[in-house]
Amino acid sequence: MALSKKPYKGCRDFFPKDMRFRNYIFDIMEKTCESFAYEPYDGPLLEEVKLYLAKSGEELIGDQIYDFTDKGNRHVAIRPEMTPTVARMAAQVHREIVKPFRWYSISNFMRYEKPQRGRVREFTQLNIDVFGAPDAIAAYEVVDVACTLLKNYGADQKMFSIQINDRVVVDAVFKNILKLEEEQSLKLYKVIDKSKKVTTEALDKMIGEVISDENATLNFKKYLNLSSFEDLILFLKEYNLEEKASNFISFNDKIKDSNIKEYINFDPTIVRGLDYYTGIVFEIFDKHPDNRRAIAGGGAYANLLQIFNEQPLAGIGFGLGDVTLKDFLESHSLLPDLTKPSHDLMIAYFDEESEATALKLASTLRTEGVKVDLSLGVMRFKKVFKTAEQRNHTMLAMIGENERKDGVVQLKNLKTKDQKNIELESIKEIIDFLKNI
């Protein structure tokens, strides 16, 4: 039986037409991050499983991880996320380098998922983090990067919103208002995470399983219904807890004066699960009716270096996957037309004797930065135009017996129909002709 030509389940083949979109998406990620002075980093494809266990607990490890034992008996996994790696790397160098330091990576990951819309097994994720900066301004910057990134793709506030909360505030609500024990708090975090995805009845039932006290239940619902940052502060003030929101207030003050304020909303249901976050947390939501979902999320963390026995280092970051981002850009028709390749010039030659001339011209033009698609082998004149069209060329250079004798190349702009014979030595003139595209 012949082998399958399909990629491994849940993985993607990127043909050139797919890569053009991927590169477009990655290029804007890079440019945006670098415009904020974030510096690129990358880690290994494999990490030891105990690193993920230490950071995430059992949840992710169980089902979603591609783990195996290597030939040296190490229990390793293909990275399912970047955070443990970036924490490990930061732990190595944070004592020596100037703070704050800003890092970003665009790396591939694998998770054992059931493939479906927006979900594949191998994906790429942009991760950005800033370490060792004051909390509120660092949170502002990271949210600004996320927002600017989507704006750089052409998105606006009709298309996405950034939903924000602060884990310090949620912790205070749970502990000081609802008077929950730690174990109850953990359970209630899970309930919050699901609160938007279930019916009111199901939510009531879930709440009832965690909180028995009637007053606490009422207050929890009151919290869940807070619809603005101002309401949150009023709610906290009732219990003299506004000081718990000091960082969140400072963050919101910065937002108020900024050009990203129309994107930002307080959202009491954003807590980012049981994850390692300890401060401001946020998710970016697609507003498109067909695609209402989080396309990215992040937050602040203080204790990520603890597992390496290192002193605490404040950090905040976010991750954004390529699949959800592409779905977002497609839903809002924000992707440019990249269905066809673009080169600068096709060179064709009509007899064997012209080949060396064509090769030399191609080589010289490439040195000048021109992307040259050279026909490989002699071409019939009739076939040239069809091939140029198939390959999406606008500019065509042709060399045959006549041109060779005259020491020229025949250049043709297939759109304007301009054509001109230019001496082979006049590279500058040839390049000028190509510029009229």
- Residue with Cβ nearer its own copies (112 or 385): 112
Among 16, 57, 312, 407, binds its own copies (CB under 8 A): 16
Among 81, 88, 125, 220, binds its own copies (CB under 8 A): 88
Q: Considering the rule CB under 8 A, would residue 435 count as an interface residue with its own copies? A: no
**Cβ partners under 8 Å of residue 302, min gap 6:** 278, 279, 312, 313, 314, 315
| 368 Rama class: left (phi>0) / alpha (psi -120 to 50) / beta | alpha
Q: Considering the rule CB under 8 A, would residue 43 count as an interface residue with its own copies? A: yes
Q: Considering the rule CB under 8 A, would residue 333 count as an interface residue with its own copies? A: no
Least Å distance, CB 417 to its own copies, is: 23
Q: Considering the rule CB under 8 A, would residue 280 count as an interface residue with its own copies? A: no
Q: Considering the rule CB under 8 A, would residue 110 count as an interface residue with its own copies? A: yes
Q: Considering the rule CB under 8 A, would residue 54 count as an interface residue with its own copies? A: yes
Q: Considering the rule CB under 8 A, would residue 337 count as an interface residue with its own copies? A: no
Question: DSSP labels for 366-430?
Answer: HHTT--EEE-SS---HHHHHHHHHHTT-SEEEEE-HHHHHHTEEEEEETTT--EEEEETT-HHHH
Q: In what order do the strands lie in the sheet with 39-40?
A: 39-40, 101-110, 122-131, 315-321, 294-301, 280-286, 160-166, 264-266
**Cβ partners under 8 Å of residue 410, min gap 6:** 397, 398, 399, 400, 403, 419, 420, 421
- Residue with Cβ nearer its own copies (254 or 287): 254
Among 25, 47, 82, 354, binds its own copies (CB under 8 A): 47
- Classified as helix, coil or strand, 223 is helix
Q: Single out the segment in contact with its own copies by CB under 8 A; choices: 4-12, 219-227, 269-277, 415-423.
A: 4-12
Q: Considering the rule CB under 8 A, would residue 75 count as an interface residue with its own copies? A: no
Q: Considering the rule CB under 8 A, would residue 330 count as an interface residue with its own copies? A: no
Are the C-beta atoms of 103 and 129 separated by less than 8 Å?
yes
Q: Considering the rule CB under 8 A, would residue 131 count as an interface residue with its own copies? A: no
Among 74, 95, 196, 420, binds its own copies (CB under 8 A): 74
Least Å distance, CB 433 to its own copies, is: 18
348-377 binders of its own copies (CB under 8 A): 355-356, 359-360, 363, 366, 369-374, 376-377
CB crowding 48-65: b at 16 or more within 10 Å, else e: bbebbbebbeeebbeebb
Q: Single out the segment in contact with its own copies by CB under 8 A; choices: 84-92, 285-293, 398-406, 413-421.
A: 84-92
Q: Considering the rule CB under 8 A, would residue 11 count as an interface residue with its own copies? A: yes
Among 215, 225, 246, 259, binds its own copies (CB under 8 A): 259
Sign of CA dihedral 278, 143, 288, 328: negative
Q: Over 125-192, what HEC string results?
A: EEEEEEECCCHHHHHHHHHHHHHHHHHHCCCCCCCEEEEEEEHHHHHHHHHHHCCCCHHHHHHHHHHH
Q: Which helix (H) or strand (E) holds 433?
A: helix 427-435
Are the C-beta atoms of 354 and 399 separated by less than 8 Å?
yes
Among 36, 185, 261, 302, binds its own copies (CB under 8 A): 36
- Residue with Cβ nearer its own copies (138 or 191): 138
- Residue with Cβ nearer its own copies (139 or 180): 139
The helix-helix angle for 355-367 and 427-435 (nearest 10°) equals 70
Q: Quote the tokens at residue 386.
A: 């069809």
Q: Considering the rule CB under 8 A, would residue 242 count as an interface residue with its own copies? A: no
The footprint of its own copies on this chain (CB under 8 A) covers a number of residues equal to 92
Q: Considering the rule CB under 8 A, would residue 70 count as an interface residue with its own copies? A: yes
- Residue with Cβ nearer its own copies (93 or 198): 93
Q: Considering the rule CB under 8 A, would residue 336 count as an interface residue with its own copies? A: no
Are the C-beta atoms of 281 and 300 separated by less than 8 Å?
yes
402-421 binders of its own copies (CB under 8 A): none
Q: Considering the rule CB under 8 A, would residue 103 count as an interface residue with its own copies? A: yes
Least Å distance, CB 125 to its own copies, is: 14
144-183 binders of its own copies (CB under 8 A): 144, 148
Q: Considering the rule CB under 8 A, would residue 229 count as an interface residue with its own copies? A: no
Among 28, 82, 128, 130, binds its own copies (CB under 8 A): 130
Of 141, 138, 167, 132, nearest to 244 by C-alpha is: 167
Q: Considering the rule CB under 8 A, would residue 186 count as an interface residue with its own copies? A: no
Task: Name residue, tokens 């060179």.
Answer: 347
The number of beta carbons lying within 10 Å of the beta carbon of residue 171 is 17
Q: Considering the rule CB under 8 A, would residue 303 count as an interface residue with its own copies? A: no
- Residue with Cβ nearer its own copies (89 or 224): 89
